[in-house]
Structure 1
């Protein structure tokens, strides 16, 4: 791996699952100084013993970002998870403006695979516009287009095993699922070693279909789990019937629609090139989490 650049390294969203893993990887690598940003910095109190400085910063509160980013050289912007139209992009715009004001030299951003305007995923344009803002800032950058988390398959997979059927509205489409841990490795590596201006696809080693996932689940469960391809609206209504708000049901199904239409059928070697290690396959990830998948089986 390329030699570690000089910090301070700033990680936003540091109290979230991805951000915390990135901070831990930086500490393990001996990179520093490390500044961990969170809306709730008290959740990061345990990091003080690791030499990490916790600061409050909120993308929706631009005034908080001047102090949060002060003195930083390399910044990881972890995309917010706000689904309200326009709010995510406004938050990212605030962060990029603050990074420019603070003189940040390199921005790393967690984007989305194929963030194009015609993607069924409603917030894909927010990622596209954020990427444009980063490029326009003139800063060196590494844009990480993360595919769907393989971690999302754990809850869905457990439900499929319990039901004996794996339901999705993804037709025969494939997805380059990547684990959250691999996304953290990519972000940490880009933050420590990234140079110039790059856009990378962060994916697992191969794209897989829902039928292949059902086959893996069958092996884990020791029984046949069949893949049932549903029309999108049928799956939305089934989710609503199971208590999910309609807005959230449509968000979840939009990922399946993107899979069905090929937007997430991307498997790249960029993760290996960036970190020196390929991503974990869906099969290996699910096998490693066999106990969680079988939790409802008593």
Structure 2
């Protein structure tokens, strides 16, 4: 049995759907806070466990007998929350004797000075290592879908520009669909193939200048990029700081290798957004 947590979320839900392409539904279970939100998965034959990261008993019950666990990181980045919740998940997995834990970590989690909420992943990877369980961290980049989507592309065409405090650095973002499919590949592959490894899951590098040029070329409308300093970025200053630091400038072929094809790039997303 393979259990996927966070199945009502975008990444977890996409991972379950990818998993069902190769694994029989009766071998797949999900953990969700609401059965109603995963009714489609139940209808497909997937076993549904209702529970959450704040309820250790529900976690242990859901993980009982699991050969594999796709542990999708919590979404609440309030300081201290993920550390507590993730600790509950790791302890429950250890008590249940889960055969292999695949954790959706983040780029930079291997650094002792990981900034801000990314440090939660550093802590969780440490908890997993100390648990003695076979573990595979997936160090996901930020979602390309947040940077390139119909709303962003439409706004850029309307304004004739993209605006970001990017420092001229490239980004290695990846799509939710690609990250979900890679996670499904790893958890279905089992510990023999993947335990003890950490995958750096990143898409092809792109820059905001390339994004603006691609939007212009594909739409036939003039679009340029305007680079702004961090002190003008407002609520996005933290993200701009991460990009400017080069955190998202490091390439990796791990995602493409797991997918068995090139990861989805920015030009494909622009064309999809315009379509």
Structure 1 residue runs of 4+, over 6 Å off? none
Q: Hey, what's the Cα distance between the residues in 2 that align with 1:64 and 1:49?
A: 22
Q: Hey, what's the Cα distance between the residues in 1 that align with 2:181 and 2:59?
A: 25
Q: Hey, what's the Cα distance between the residues in 2 that align with 1:256 and 1:160?
A: 18
What is the match of residue 124 of structure 1? 118
What is the match of residue 9 of structure 1? 2
What is the match of residue 15 of structure 2? 22
Q: Could you tell me how far 1:42 is from its partner in structure 2?
A: 1.8
Structure 2 residues without counterparts, runs of 5 or longer:
none
Matched, 1:203 2:187: no
**TM-score normalised by the chain length of structure 2:** 0.92
Matched, 1:230 2:222: no
Q: Is the 8 A contact 1:15 1:41 kept in 2?
A: no
Q: Hey, what's the Cα distance between the residues in 1 that align with 2:130 and 2:177?
A: 30
Q: Hey, what's the Cα distance between the residues in 2 that align with 1:110 and 1:130?
A: 10
Q: Could you tell me how far 1:117 is from its partner in structure 2?
A: 4.8
What's the RMSD between the two structures over aligned residues? 1.5
What is the match of residue 217 of structure 2? 219
**TM-score normalised by the chain length of structure 1:** 0.85
What is the match of residue 245 of structure 1? none
Q: Hey, what's the Cα distance between the residues in 1 that align with 2:174 and 2:188?
A: 21
What is the match of residue 162 of structure 1? 158
Structure 1 residues without counterparts, runs of 5 or longer:
1-7, 237-248, 292-298
Q: Is the 8 A contact 1:272 1:278 kept in 2?
A: yes
Query: Which residue among 245, 251, 272 is the counterpart of 1:261?
Result: 245
What is the match of residue 5 of structure 1? none
**Helix, strand or coil: the match of 2:139?**
strand
Counterparts of 1:260-279 in structure 2, within 5 Å, are 260-279=244-263
The Cα offsets for residues 106-143 of structure 1, whole Å up to 9 and x where unpaired, read as 111111111235444x2011011111111111111211
Counterparts of 1:9-88 in structure 2, within 5 Å, are 9-31=2-24, 32-88=26-82
Aligned residues: 268
Q: Is the 8 A contact 1:141 1:194 kept in 2?
A: no
